[in-house]
Amino acid sequence: MLERFYPDVYLDSAYEIDYAALYEQGYRGVIFDIDNTLVPHGAPADERSIALFQKLRDIGYESMLLSNNKEPRVRTFNDKVGSRYIYKANKPFLESYQRAMEMMGTAPETTLFVGDQLFTDVWGAKKAGIRTYLVKPIHPKEEIQIVLKRYLEKIVLFFYKRKLRKERSGND
């Protein structure tokens, strides 16, 4: 039952993903959450995030910001990184993920999702058939509703990590 929340890949940071190698594998679009995925919650785009989006463009990717935040937050961030965006996305509902792919001209099998939350980001992307990358939150400062979800995420991640250990040791 918890498997529906398991990411395809779990990493420390969105900035350590080998986007060039994934492009070679046929991926063409990347959908990102913003807060605590690319920058600390509420922070503006920084040099690292701006450079990432330039790198993605140089490789040939389409990109999309998919956020449950209101438009001023998303637009302000996007003004610096130059992507497309959907605000008030209502993640994990499927419609926003499908709309993001439609806007990028990609399909589930050519799209990646990168986010920091299991119950919104990963679950929604998995329902859409998109390859998911869960990254660790950049900063511990978060809104109270997210802090509460983090406790439940710890339980899911415990079982996810246990499953990975079993697979590595050959004890399915």
**Contact criterion met (CB below 8 Å) for 33 and 115:** yes
How many whole angstroms separate alpha carbon 124 and alpha carbon 33? 12
Average pLDDT of the residues of the chain: 92
How many whole angstroms separate alpha carbon 163 and alpha carbon 61? 32
Q: At the topology level of CATH, where does 2-167 sit?
A: Rossmann fold (3.40.50)
Q: Does pLDDT of 147 surpass 80? A: no
Label residue 144 by pLDDT band (50, 70, 90). Answer: low
Taking residue 32's Cβ as centre, other Cβ atoms within 10 Å add up to 28
Label residue 157 by pLDDT band (50, 70, 90). Answer: confident
Q: Span 130-150, mean pLDDT? A: 80
Return the DSSP state at 45: P
Q: What percentage of the chain reaches a pLDDT higher than 70?
A: 94
Domain ranges of the chain: 2-167
Label residue 141 by pLDDT band (50, 70, 90). Answer: low
